[in-house]
Amino acid sequence: MRMLADELIRWGWIFSHGSEIWSRFVQHVQLTVIAVGLGLAISLPLAVLSYRHRRLYIPVTWVTGMLYSIPSIALYVILLPITGLSTTTAEIALVTYTLLILIRNIVVGLSGVPEDVKEAARGMGYTKRQLLWRVEMPLALPAIVAGVRIATVSTIGLVTVAALIGRGGLGQFILDGLQTFFTTEIFLGAILSLALALAADTALLGAQKVLTPWSRPGGAAPRPFLPWQKPGYPIG
């Protein structure tokens, strides 16, 4: 058994390539963070518009759903003549796959805000903008963070495919290992990608619990709404 493990994973090779492993790990994280960040920046206004103007929801989700259904390899092939073998090509594809997930979750979260809470805010003189950022967004956070978790984990997996255009982070180990039949690189890329996905999901879950303590069983009501019970509380 020990001999088999040594044949599959050569620890000496791993220790001698520490700087390369770290470099590709950092690249994997950077590609993921940029993709999810840009995806959220694009999805948030689209989701808010779709929430406020419901007739837009179907066409927005139809377009993003169609983009989501394109196989990643096919999308890279489509983009190559335009942006070449670049990080831009990888990011366009990665951002594209986050949109449907994030838009749906943001709209679901906003739609789940109780109507009586919104009416109370309007009665206190909140404008639409104040209502969105002070009431609806905080209460929609559990659904939004859940969407970010799904988008992040799926993006970490999709980054490995970007190795086909030389921008795959840890996926480059898997591709190189398959080309040379070197199992150490294959296992290294797969295990580190899985570990990164689990770590990211755990971190985001922890962040969700910190940001939304009221969503846990027995949690207190969100702080922004407690002052409403006091007459004459200033809107600001």
What count of other Cβ atoms lies within 10 Å of the Cβ of residue 64? 22
List the chain domain ranges: 21-209
* Whole-number pLDDT of residue 127: 82
21-209: CATH class: mainly alpha
DSSP state for residue 219 in the 8-state scheme: P
- pTM for the structure as a whole: 0.83
- The string of pLDDT tens digits covering residues 110-156 is 998 888 888 888 888 888 888 888 888 888 998 999 999 999 999 99
Spatial contact of 56 and 45, defined as CB atoms under 8 Å apart: no
- The string of pLDDT tens digits covering residues 66-108 is 999 988 888 988 888 888 888 888 999 999 999 999 999 999 9
Question: 109, 147, 110, 124: which is closest to 224 by C-alpha?
Answer: 124
